[in-house]
Structure formats: structure tokens, C-alpha cells
Amino acid sequence: MTTDLKPVPELTELNRPYFRAAAEGRLCIQRCRPCGHRWFPPSSRCPACLSTDVEWADVSGRGTLWSWILMHQRYFAGFADEIPYPIGFVQLEEGPFLVAGLVGVDVEDLVCDLPVRVVFEESRDGIVLAKFTPAGSVAATS
């Protein structure tokens, strides 16, 4: 079945805390209570120590742009009118990596190791996404 809409996740008991926090403007991922490890995407168990005693905890929202690409290919009709669009592979200050859209930045200013900060944008149907923008930019401080 084709759709002209952007892909969005179905909310589940496991991933709902992430999206609820994003809707409130907070970046929140899982953390293991016994060992402190953090990870994303969500899982029922800690990948470091295998404990199921896990919680959701806010992260700073700061990270570094490990790498980025510009998507020129029309894989999703819902993204077609944004082509070419930048996508980042961001390493959060706390360690985990996220794939995320990049906003508020010109392509010429994209460079690996750029410090970035989370901003939130709604995709559709109430699903808010954590995207990233250069840490020094106006958008990040608003």
C-alpha cells in the first residue's frame, strides 16, 4: 500500500515514553537502573548487563554530528518536496547514536563533528520528532 505521507511509528507501550517526551520538548531515552547504561531505540532489556530494571531518563539534548548525508533519492513520497534533505548521524553527549533530520543549517555549513542540539518538530498526526540543529544557532536557544 503506497502512501504520500511520511512514515511515522505506531505507538506501543515500549516506545510511547519517547514520543510523549518529544511532544513535551524533551529528549528522553532508556537507562538501566543497576548499571547506568543508556540506549536507543527502545528495548525491554539493558544491552550492557541484560537487566530488565530499566527506566526512561532525559538526556541533555547535546550531541555531535558524527556524519551526515544529503538524500537526493525519492524513497518516500512524503519527503519528496524536501529533496535534497540533510540527515545526520548524531552521537549524543551521553553516548548513544541517533539518526535524525537536520534543521536550521545550510548545507555548506554541515561538517562532521559539528556540535548540535536537539529541537523538536512535528511530523504528522501528533508525532513529534527529535531533530538537530547547530548548537550555536538561534533555533537551539529558543
Q: Which residues bind another protein (CB under 8 A)?
A: 3, 6-10, 12, 14-15, 40-42, 66-73, 75-76, 78-79, 82, 84-85, 87, 89, 97, 99-101, 111-113, 123, 127, 129, 131
Q: Measured from the CB atom, is 10 or 138 closer to another protein?
A: 10
CB of 18 to another protein, least distance (A): 9
Q: Measured from the CB atom, is 56 or 76 closer to another protein?
A: 76
* 37, three cell numbers: 547504561
CB of 35 to another protein, least distance (A): 18
Please say whether the dihedral angle defined by the alpha carbons of residues 43, 46, 52 and 55, taken in this order, is positive or negative: negative
Q: Count the neighbouring beta carbons within 10 Å of the beta carbon of residue 64.
A: 17
CB of 111 to another protein, least distance (A): 7
**Residue 46, class by beta-carbon neighbours within 10 Å (0-12 exposed, 13-18 middle, 19+ buried)?**
buried
d(CA 23, CA 31): 20
CB of 109 to another protein, least distance (A): 14
Taking a C-beta distance cutoff of 8 angstroms, is the pair 88, 109 a contact? Answer: no
